[in-house]
Amino acid sequence: MSSPTTKRQPSFIDPNRLYALRGFQIDADITPTRMREARLQGVKPTMLKIGKRVFIRGADAIDYLERLAELSAPK
């Protein structure tokens, strides 16, 4: 069986990169709603705020995604 084709480019999170919050959400394919749900369950990413802009370090983004995976894992 072959894998389905998609026009979407594959993405990854580089641990040495600084992401704008929206860029992280796009690259990680995570919605603001999912981030809000996780925050309500106590899982928050480490972010940097500069003025009105919000950034997340790649290494912190990977850590956040790992904690999200644990939160979503069946018990």
Q: Is 62 among the domain residues? A: yes
Find the CATH number of the domain harbouring 23: 1.10.238
Q: Is 13 among the domain residues? A: no
Confidence of residue 9 (pLDDT cuts 50, 70, 90): low
Q: Is 41 among the domain residues? A: yes
Q: What is the pLDDT of residues 17-70, one digit of tens each?
A: 999 999 999 989 999 999 999 999 999 999 999 999 999 999 999 999 999 999
Q: Is 5 among the domain residues? A: no
Q: Where are the alpha helices (DSSP H) in the chain?
A: 21-28, 32-40, 58-72
- The boundaries of the domain holding residue 34 are 18-72
Query: Does residue 8 have a pLDDT over 90?
Result: no
Count up the domains in the chain and report the number.
1
Q: Is 9 among the domain residues? A: no
Q: Are 43 and 68 in contact (CB under 8 A)?
A: yes
Task: Please state the pTM of the whole predicted model.
Answer: 0.80
The radius of gyration computed from the CA coordinates of the chain, to the nearest angstrom, equals 14
